[in-house]
A and B are shown apart, each in its own frame.
Chain A
Amino acid sequence: MAWLTTALILLPIGGALLVWVFPWDAFTAGSIAVLVALAEVGLWIDSLVRFNFNQGGLQLDQRTNWFSDLHVSYHVGMYGFSLWLVGLTVVVQAAAIIYAFWSGRTGARAYFGLMLLLTAAIVGVFTAQDLLLFYVFWEAMLLPLYVLIGVWGGPGRLGATIKFVIYTMAGSLLMLASVIVIGLSQGTFDLTATWQSSNNWIFLGFVAAFAVKAPLFPLHGWLPDAYRESPPEVSAVLSGVVSKAAIYGFIRIAITKFPEPTRDFRTVILVLAAIGLIYGSLLAFRAPDVRGVIAYSSLAQMGLITFGVFAVNDLGLNGAVLQMVNHGLITASLFLLAGGIERRATTGEFSRLGGFARGRPILATVLMTTGIIALAVPGSSAFAGEFEILAGVFSRGWGYSVVGAVAIVLAAMYMLRLISAVLHRDPGPAVSPEALDLRPAELGAIVPLLACLLALSVWPAAITERSFTNDRARTDVNMQFEAAK
């Protein structure tokens, strides 16, 4: 079944070419994209069923030489935690594509082709087991995003894309230098090989790329513009999935391959994450519009997840993976809802919103549910994730846990502020009484995300006990983690 991973990458590429090459009308192009996205989810479920969680380790992997003289290969496969992240990707992408299909984008063929290409690139990042291949997919994420924001974004899109590209490329080119140096000096680019390095500079090259993409404080300068100016479903993908690629990079490359530098720089990264967590939460509380709140809460959540990752222990890492999936689903739902709100009110500014709940019970219910899960109410999957992360980071110092706990309180504040500013109070000047409740298509995009969240709330151990197969099998990646602890 080794072809499943490759199929997960190639199916969206094939879909993109299909959409691009033939002169479909907008409706057909959109339908094809939706079908491909749903087929992608089906493929993922198939891999989930075939994945042997008891065995652990790299599965469904496939390897072909790409250029053999430098030992670069096309090597893809999935670990437990990659499988969950791929799942997050295909689900969020399907929701985003359904939402886009419903809201009707101009230039539909170009748009849907790019969305499918983006899917392939993100899945590639989560499955690549070769450093250069990882870099290729990493860069391949940027191109569709650049065009998607630049063409279909809001009025400030040009500035937003320039900032976005300069930030991310500066980071990823440092990563390219690191990739070249480490790959040639180790004699292999394969990530499953058991090399480890103690070179601080190379480590920092990787960390720079990941820290920009996540983003971590103070490299988040591109974030508010990009999240505000993108089409809502692209924001959903950007903050829901693409940011997770960075955290995945921390886990798969920075920690497992650079145990000593990880130990040396752990405190610095944890402190930056703590600052980002508090700073992001405060900014989210002060943000004047819906998307601003979601954007800055993303920054805060990335800090929290980084806590879990750089705790480098079982609790922290398991919690981080769970929280990555949680946050991906939550933030994607929120951005899609924000899109729905902006569509109805033509603005996302709190000063002109309010009273949305009156006469629109479905929208109110969905937003309320998502918001409540987002603020990590006990019993929700987000609560489980954050609890594990805080328990994990406690072993690095009680101060981090205190910061995390404070941030959870702040999260309650900004989420409730968002909910009340949109749903409650008197109807704002931008809210016309005719504005409709959520349409079936919007529900079709958002409800599956919520359903996943509710399922995870019931059974968070589905992910936490099936990411790194602790105490079940001594796999190569687990051994590498041991070295980093």
Chain B
Amino acid sequence: MIPTPHVDWFALAPELMLLGAMGFSLLGAVLIPRENRRDFGALAAGLGFAGAFVYAIVIYVHTPEAHSLIADSVRRDRFGALAQVIIAGAGLLTVGVSYAERMRDEHIGEYYALLAAAGAGMCFLVTANNLMTLFLGLEWFSISLYILCAIDRELEGSLEAGLKYLIIGSFGSAVLLFGSALVYGATGELAFNRISDAIAAQHLTGDALLVAGLAMIIVGLGFKASAAPFHMWTPDVYEGAPTPVTGFMAAATKTAALVLTLRLLREAFSAEAHLWTIAIAAIACTSLAWGNLAALVQQSVKRMLAYSSIAQAGFMLIPIASDNAIGGRALLYYLIPYSVMSVGAFAVVTARERELAAPVTLQNLAGMGWERPLLGVAMCTFMFGFAGLPPTGGFVGKFYAFSAAYRHGWTWLVIVGVVATAVSLYYYLAVVRAMYMRPATELQLTPTPVATGGAPPRDLPLQTAVLVAAFGTVASFIAVEPLIHVAKQAASSLPF
């Protein structure tokens, strides 16, 4: 009789919900009549994400004390639960955005199954508590995303995006795995808290093997968070992947990677904080500089948003680099408006893409604000949010991030962030300019004529998702107190 560890199934409920949704969606692809597959797949994935969302909230409420599960491999705490709420929420919105995507019928079941699987992997990753589960979670969602990027074979560049993501993502994973091995070699431990104990017990601070391992792990996570200089895959993949998937990647992948980075660095390597705070700050500055400068010259809106997401990763690395309680709060708070803004912005791009049947550039956004008032106003909200202007949660998020850096004693990092914000305004406002201030006559392509004439078909799920995202962006500005309270409780699960 082999002793098996006790499993707290309830703590795994979000992942299980999503895995169940994946299974149903795949079954539906076989058993459900062709004309109903789209509805069934969306329903299964939607229910899965909604269930994960609710369960994550329940776990959050019922976990006042953090504890480890299944032989210390998974951690059940509010920190992970809040991240799962964000990921599941982003997934739910993505299902709404994806619903009307023109996809070949035979791939619909797989699309939603992979979306749910990726969500499950991310939910698992943010609760990982040792290097094995970390790698498992990382590969779990990465492989799902590789396929999702390439799923739409009709889409020009989709296959290319999948391949690029596969190769570069695998390289990142390999680096991370190598780093994990070095850390294991140095400490003899896999679980985060035991690594920390081992470093203290064996006086390993500054040990070459350990530091090399730590550096490689940071690099590996940097690939996933698409932080410069590990971002080179981002523009091509974001541009090539189906747009709803891009939105999901920008929101959820980044959430998972950043949250895990904070957890890992804080729980396992707090003794090395003097090293990694500087490394993370350097990565943050590089991302801010590179992302913002490259975004300035983009014409394709998806590429521009890709570079903007690199810059946003830089902003969100600032609180991690600050390594203090307010930083943890700042990161978790910022991820909430950031996720809804990302999904929302890419959803608007999706809608425009469907209307024009062409890649969306700044030129062919012309006049969109007047033709599609809801999408236009929402897109403005997202752009103002990314730029950190009130009244959006992006403003409060940046304020908290800068406050964390100041508390750490790094006023220079505040200045870097402020300058980067100033630069970013130019390209975020360029979208507003394109949508509202250029006449529609400048439009180089004409909207796809619909068979009956008149307005393009209503896309209620997408519009709902956009509306919810815009609402979330503004509401997170007004309701700072409750959200920060939640973020504070969540961050207090980490040993600050």
Contacts and interface: CB of A to CB of B under 8 A. Distances in A.
B422 A140 contact: no
B406 A180 contact: yes
A401 B400 CA distance: 46
Given A140-B390, A176-B402, 9 more contacts: A69-B484, A70-B326, A142-B389, A143-B389, A146-B432, A147-B432, A151-B436, A161-B437, A174-B418
Nearest to A147: B436
23 contacts: A66-B481, A67-B396, A67-B484, A70-B326, A70-B403, A136-B390, A143-B389, A150-B432, A150-B433, A151-B436, A157-B437, A158-B433, A158-B437, A165-B429, A166-B426, A173-B419, A177-B402, A177-B411, A177-B418, A180-B399, A180-B403, A181-B406, A184-B407
B370 interface: yes
B389 A139 contact: yes
Contacts of A162: 426
Interface in A154-188: 157-158, 161-162, 165-166, 169-170, 173-174, 176-177, 180-181, 184
Given A169-B425, A170-B422, A184-B403, A177 B414 contact: yes
Contacts of B421: 173
A70 B407 CA distance: 11
B414 A181 contact: yes
A173 B399 CA distance: 11
Contacts of B425: 165-166, 169
Interface in A260-308: none
A100 B107 CA distance: 54
Given A140-B391, A184-B407, A65 B418 contact: no
A147 B402 CA distance: 28
Contacts of B395: 136, 139
Contacts of A180: 399, 402-403, 406, 414
A132 interface: yes
A51 to B, nearest CB: 28
Nearest to A68: B481
Contacts of A132: 399
A107 interface: yes
B21 to A, nearest CB: 35
Contact of A150 (B436, B481, B484): B436
B470 to A, nearest CB: 13
Per DSSP, chain B at the interface is helix
A107 B377 CA distance: 14
Contact of B422 (A65, A139, A151, A173): A173
Contacts of B432: 146-147, 150
A382 B142 CA distance: 69
B357 to A, nearest CB: 27
A398 B480 CA distance: 52
A146 B429 contact: yes
Per DSSP, chain A at the interface is helix
Nearest to B477: A136
Interface residues of B, number: 34
A170 B421 CA distance: 9
Nearest to B482: A67
Interface string A34-52: 0000000000000000000
Contacts of B437: 150-151, 157-158, 161
B155 interface: no
A143 B425 CA distance: 12
Interface string B221-250: 000000000000000000000000000000
Contacts of B329: 69
Interface in A124-144: 132, 136, 139-140, 142-143
B382 interface: no
Interface string B359-393: 00000000000100000010000001000011100
B70 interface: no
Nearest to B333: A67
Interface in B449-482: 480-481
A67 B480 contact: yes
B481 A65 contact: yes
Contact of A67 (B389, B429, B481): B481
Contacts of B407: 184
A184 B414 CA distance: 13
A150 B425 CA distance: 15
B134 to A, nearest CB: 30
Nearest to A138: B390
A70 B329 CA distance: 12
Contacts of A139: 389-390, 395
Contacts of B326: 69-70
Contacts of A65: 481
B488 interface: yes
B415 interface: yes
Contact of B370 (A107, A140, A142): A107
Nearest to B377: A20
Contacts of A143: 384, 389
A121 to B, nearest CB: 9
Counting chain B CB atoms within 10 Å of each CB, the highest count among A70, A158, A161, A170 belongs to A70
Contacts of A68: 481
Nearest to A185: B406
A299 to B, nearest CB: 24
Nearest to B420: A173
A452 B389 CA distance: 35
| For the complex of A and B, 8 pairs with smallest distance between CB atoms | A150-B437, A136-B390, A67-B480, A173-B418, A177-B418, A173-B422, A180-B402, A139-B390
Interface string B248-262: 000000000000000
Contacts of B400: 70
A20 B470 CA distance: 15
Nearest to B421: A173
A169 B437 CA distance: 20
Interface in A64-78: 65-70
Interface string B426-448: 10010011001100000000000
Contact of A184 (B370, B406, B415, B481): B406
A1 to B, nearest CB: 24
Given A139-B389, A147-B436, A151-B437, A181 B488 contact: no
A113 to B, nearest CB: 10
Contacts of B370: 107
